[in-house]
Amino acid sequence: MTSAQLTPLETGLLPTTFDIKLRLRHKLTCCLVTLLPMAGLSAQDEDASEFPDDVEFGGAFLNPDGLNPDASNSDGFDGSSFDSSAFDDTMFDGADLFNTEVETPNNFRFQLSQQTVAHISRHRYKTPADNTETQHRGLENNRFGLNIRYQNPFAAGWLLQSSAQLRAYLPGDYERDSPGRDGWEWRLNELFVQRSGAQNSFSFGRQTIVWGETIGMSVLDVINTTEYRDLTIIDIEDARLNQWLAVWDHFSDSGNWSSFINLYPEFDPVPVTGSPLFPQPLQVNGQTLRLGSYDRDKELFEVGTRWNRTLTGGDIAIMAARLYENTLRYTLPEDGSNHAQIHINDFALLGFSANRAIDRLLLTFDLAYSHGLLTDTLRQVPDGAGGDAWLPGYDRQDRVSVAAGFEYGISATRQISLGIQAQRFIDLPEDSATRQWRQRDAEGNALLRYSHSLRNEELMLSATAQVALDGDEILLNLAADYRLSDAWEVTGQLILTRAADDSAIYFLERDVRAGLTLSWSF
């Protein structure tokens, strides 16, 4: 690589700047869980046949995998999500889908929403290149949304389920002028058919599989891809994307088995340049670096299985899978262009999870061993001007990750939860004169949440705080959700962040955002 290719980035700043861009999406996956609404006390694998009789929008949560208990939502969220504009697979609740003798249900559910989010603080922050930039006050999100869900138990033991979303970006929304969108976009989320019997269940189509127990912090929830596009209330259920999966569940007294195969693995969507979470594109050769999507040149597949058993007062589960890392990796172009080189990586996952209920206390634990993950490195190369430059790269290594937490029901209307996640690469090689391994230290986050429901659950107040274990990021979310009627709901939110200069979210230092969403469900 020549010195011209390094311009306009100074040689010494290149690895830091590029590395932050590459790791930003992974970092935000942890950071943004602080914006999750408060969850109730619940065990992982509830009886799949126990569906509520009433439909509550933004309230109770529907398992996106229908009646597949092994693919049920381990996060147990209260679905009162602020970001109605996010692509939400879980906004609708369902009825007894397999009881075909009752009155024919209305198979369609709809939700209309209007969301407005704005910066309310003018603040400055330092970039990795040691420049100072200013974030001005102003509108960020202004969008109208339509969510549609279809559920049809068309025969005894059969279920057809689908969901889709449409977003119209109004003046002032940063997405309005995004290339290729023409001010709006739509997406099909779920589309699967399921056949369930006494001991076996089969499903095929676009669906999700959730492993792990720790709310918002599970180190095992890595099967489906995610997309964090905005810094608003985007919980893991909104951000998790469905994939084309074939799933088989087998139930027995000695434990339940759930296995899946994915013949078309997908990857996290490419970051939207200029969006709140990716405000500054990297410059190479005087041009904006283009990241791009993966161009499939070979057949890919993922496969996994999970065994779980319910014990007195809790559950245990063991799982194994062969997966691809969801996040695409990029390195600088070597052909003088501005198109980054794209890398994918497959790895093996072994995991264990457990929960234990003690009166009003629920304890959770997740453990993951990942063989062959990519870890960040720096390698020394000539810069073409008689000197040397450190360029970012990757190496395959093993990592151990652990998450633990608790949920406690203080009373019928107040809840508190705490989750801690940590991960570390093990047995990394020693640094050499021409190569260094960047991720030697443990990384992780602590998440504390409190919620209080008032007026017979018409009003929900919540506060959420998350701190990176290294102290580089602090996020605080204050939210109020008021149910005007069975159909109308309004939600307000205030998000405050602090970030160190060398943090992956350095541009959120002293950032304050406020938003309001009005939704109508029918």
* Per-residue confidence (pLDDT) for residue 56, from 0 to 100: 34
* Per-residue confidence (pLDDT) for residue 393, from 0 to 100: 86
From 48-52, 266-270, 438-442, the region with the lowest mean pLDDT: 48-52
- What is each CA distance from 326 to 167, 193, 306, 491, in whole angstroms? 25, 25, 20, 32
Residue with more model confidence, 383 or 510 = 510
pLDDT at position 192 over 60: yes
Task: State the first-to-last Cα distance of the chain, in angstroms, to the nearest integer.
Answer: 59
Q: How confident is the model at residue 229 (pLDDT cuts 50, 70, 90)?
A: confident
* Per-residue confidence (pLDDT) for residue 34, from 0 to 100: 37
* Per-residue confidence (pLDDT) for residue 11, from 0 to 100: 27
Give the tens place of pLDDT for each residue, 482-500: 999 999 999 999 999 999 8
Q: How confident is the model at residue 72 (pLDDT cuts 50, 70, 90)?
A: very low
* Per-residue confidence (pLDDT) for residue 278, from 0 to 100: 76
pLDDT at position 46 over 80: no
Name the strand (E) or helix (H) holding 28: helix 14-31
From 152-161, 314-323, 356-365, 437-446, the region with the lowest mean pLDDT: 437-446
Distance from C-alpha of 112 to C-alpha of 522, rounded to nearest angstrom: 9
* Per-residue confidence (pLDDT) for residue 233, from 0 to 100: 54
* Per-residue confidence (pLDDT) for residue 424, from 0 to 100: 96
* Per-residue confidence (pLDDT) for residue 297, from 0 to 100: 84
pLDDT at position 146 over 50: yes
Distance from C-alpha of 431 to C-alpha of 375, rounded to nearest angstrom: 14
108-521 under CATH 2.40.160.100, yes or no: yes
Q: What is the mean pLDDT of residues 260-289?
A: 81
Distance from C-alpha of 450 to C-alpha of 188, rounded to nearest angstrom: 33
Q: How confident is the model at residue 224 (pLDDT cuts 50, 70, 90)?
A: very high
Residue 355: HSE in the Cβ half-sphere, 13 Å Cα cutoff: 28
pLDDT at position 196 over 90: yes
* Per-residue confidence (pLDDT) for residue 131, from 0 to 100: 80
Any alpha helices (H) in 265-342, and if so which ranges?
none
Structure tokens at 135: 């974030």
Q: How confident is the model at residue 236 (pLDDT cuts 50, 70, 90)?
A: low
**Average pLDDT across the chain, whole number:** 80
Give the tens place of pLDDT for each residue, 322-345: 999 999 998 888 787 888 889 999
- Domains of the chain, by residue range, sit at 108-521
Q: Phi then psi for 504, rounded to 5 degrees?
A: -65, -20
Q: What is the mean pLDDT of residues 184-207?
A: 95
Look at the block and give the residue holding tokens 């906004």.
Answer: 91
Cβ count near 512 (within 10 Å): 18
Give the tens place of pLDDT for each residue, 94-135: 434 444 444 456 899 999 999 999 999 888 888 777 788 888
From the number of C-beta atoms within 10 Å of its C-beta (0-12, 13-18, 19+), residue 182 rates as exposed
* Per-residue confidence (pLDDT) for residue 240, from 0 to 100: 82
* Per-residue confidence (pLDDT) for residue 125, from 0 to 100: 83
Cβ count near 516 (within 10 Å): 14
> Which of 55-59, 80-84, 225-229 has the highest average model confidence (pLDDT)?
225-229
Nearest of 464, 463, 472 to residue 444 by alpha carbon: 472
Distance from C-alpha of 54 to C-alpha of 52, rounded to nearest angstrom: 6
pLDDT at position 348 over 60: yes
Name the strand (E) or helix (H) holding 21: helix 14-31
* Per-residue confidence (pLDDT) for residue 383, from 0 to 100: 75
Give the tens place of pLDDT for each residue, 277-316: 777 677 777 778 888 888 888 899 999 999 999 999 999 9
Helix/strand/coil for 59: coil
As a whole number of Å, the CA-based R_g of the chain is 23
Q: What is the mean pLDDT of residues 23-52?
A: 39
* Residue 195, beta-bridge partner list: 158, 202
Q: What is the mean pLDDT of residues 219-236?
A: 78
